[in-house]
Amino acid sequence: MPDMIELEQLTKLYDGQSTPAVDSLDLRIAEGEIVILVGPSGCGKTTTLKMINRIIEPSSGIIRLQGEDVTRENPDRLRRRIGYVIQQVGLFPHQTIGRNITTVPRLLGWPQKRIDDRLDELMHLVGLDPSTYRDRFPKELSGGQRQRVGVARALAADPPVMLMDEPFGALDPISRERLQNEFLRLQEEIRKTIVFVTHDIDEAIKMGDRIAILREGSVIAQYDTPETVLAAPADDFVREFIGSGAALKRLGLVRVRDVELEQWPTSPISAGREAALRALESSEHGSLLLLDERRRPLRWAHARELGQPGGSLEDVGLEVRATVEPSATLAGALDSMVGSRVGVVVVVDGSGALLGTVDMRVIMAAVETVRTDAREQVPEEVSAR
C-alpha cells in the first residue's frame, strides 16, 4: 500500500515554552490502515493530530498527503480531505443532530437532496435511526450516541483520512467495547486511513493495524504491529507502558477461528446410554458431548456416569455452559473457561451447532505461536535485547 500520510521532521514549539510539544516527528501511515498514537498525557498526541490537518500550524517540518506536500496548502481545502473527531466530541449544542452531522456538506454547498440522502446514510451507518434522532439536540442523547454523531460528522464528506482524538474516551467500558467493535466492522466497509489517539494501551492493541508508542515530545518509542509491540517491546518505556499481562493481552489478538479445535466423541442425547457408551469406547477420551437433534451441545458426560443404570440422559453429567463462536478472541474463550466447571470451552457456529472445543493446551500453544511469529518480524537489534 502507498503511504497516505507522511510526516517529516514535524515540530511544534508553542509560544513561551522551552521544549517542543512535538519534536521532529517522522511518521508514515499507509493507505487504509488504522494507526494508533498512544502515550502518556501531555506527550503531544493532540498537537500531532491537529498539525496533520493544520488546526495547529507546525513550527517546522513537512506534511504530505498522498505524496503531495500540503504543509502550505489552503487549510480549508486540506480539511475537506480529512475528517476530524475531536477529544470530548464537541458537537454544537444549539444545533440538531442532523445539522451537526451535515456541517461540512453544507459548508461545501451540496444540493439539499444530496445532503438529506447523505444524512440518512450516515445515521444508519453509525447505528442511529434518522427519524428518531435527526431533530434532537446533543443534550438529548447518551454519551455513546453523541460519540456516534461525532464519527458520522467526521465521515460526512467521505474524506479518505480520519483523525480521531480519543473518540471513545468518555464512555463506560461496556459502551466503549461495543463502539470499538462497531467501528472495526464499519472500517472493513469504508477502509479509511485513520489516525487514532488514545492513552489506553488495550484500546491501541485492539484497534490498531500499527501502534506508535510516543514519549514526551511525540518521540516514537516504537512503531510496530500490536503483535510485535507485545512480543518484543523496544525498551523499558514501552515495556512499562504495556504494563503487566502482556501474554494475556496477546490472547486478545487471536481469534478462536485461527486455532485448531479439539474434537470430542459425541452422541445424540435421544440415542440413549448404549449408543453414548459405544461412542466413547471407540475414542481415547473419557468424556463425550451429548447433542440435541440439531447438533447443539447439551451436556458433558463421563464414562463412569454413563455406566450407571438409569433411564434418560437429560441430567447425566454437567450442563454445557461455556460456549463461544469462532469470532471470539482467545481472551474471551479463556474467560468463559474460567467461568465454567470443566476447563473446556465448546465452540459453536451461528446456529449453536458444535464445531469443536478449546482448552488450556490450545491456548498455550497459540500464545507460543504469536510470540514466535512476532519475533520473526522484529529486526535483530531489537530482539537481541
Q: Is 92 in the site for ligand ATP (CB under 6 A)?
A: no
- Exactly one of 27, 47, 291, 333 binds ligand ATP (CB under 6 A); that residue is 47
Rounded to the nearest whole angstrom, what is the least distance from the CB of residue 11 to ligand ATP in the complex? 12
Tell me how far apart the alpha carbons of residues 212 and 28 are, in angstroms, rounded to a whole number: 10
Q: Which is nearer to ligand ATP, 197 or 374 (CB)?
A: 197
Tell me how far apart the alpha carbons of residues 84 and 256 are, in angstroms, rounded to a whole number: 34
Stretch that binds ligand ATP, among 39-47, 174-182, 300-308, 365-373 (CB under 6 A): 39-47
Crossing angle of helices 112-125/143-155, nearest 10°? 130
Q: What is the contact surface with Mg ion in residues (CB under 5 A)? A: 46
Which residue has its beta carbon closest to Mg ion? 46
- Give yes or no for a contact between 12 and 47, defined as CB atoms under 8 angstroms apart: yes
- Give yes or no for a contact between 226 and 208, defined as CB atoms under 8 angstroms apart: yes
Q: Is 21 in the site for ligand ATP (CB under 6 A)?
A: yes
Q: Which helix (H) or strand (E) segment is 105 a member of?
A: helix 103-107
Burial class (CB in 10 A: 0-12, 13-18, 19+), 27: buried
Rounded to the nearest whole angstrom, what is the least distance from the CB of residue 237 to ligand ATP in the complex? 15
Q: Is 333 in the site for ligand ATP (CB under 6 A)?
A: no
Residue 131 contact among ligand ATP, Mg ion, none, beta carbon within 5 to 8 Å by kind: none
Rounded to the nearest whole angstrom, what is the least distance from the CB of residue 104 to Mg ion in the complex? 22
- Exactly one of 44, 58, 150, 167 binds ligand ATP (CB under 6 A); that residue is 44
Q: Is 221 in the site for ligand ATP (CB under 6 A)?
A: no
Q: Is 45 in the site for ligand ATP (CB under 6 A)?
A: yes
Residue 42 contact among Mg ion, ligand ATP, none, beta carbon within 5 to 8 Å by kind: ligand ATP
Q: Is 199 in the site for ligand ATP (CB under 6 A)?
A: yes
- Cell 461525532: give the residue: 150
3-state helix, strand, coil in the chain (%, to 5): 40, 25, 35
Q: Which is nearer to ligand ATP, 212 or 269 (CB)?
A: 212
Q: Which is nearer to ligand ATP, 26 or 349 (CB)?
A: 26
Q: What three-state secondary structure class fits 274?
A: helix
Rg for the chain, CA atoms, rounded: 26
Q: Is 14 in the site for ligand ATP (CB under 6 A)?
A: yes
Q: Is 206 in the site for ligand ATP (CB under 6 A)?
A: no
Q: Which residues contact 210 (CB under 8 A, 6 or more apart)?
A: 33, 34, 35, 36, 223, 224, 225, 226
Q: What three-state secondary structure class fits 154?
A: helix
Q: Is 46 in the site for ligand ATP (CB under 6 A)?
A: yes
Binding site residues, ligand ATP, CB under 6 A: 14, 17, 21, 41-47, 199
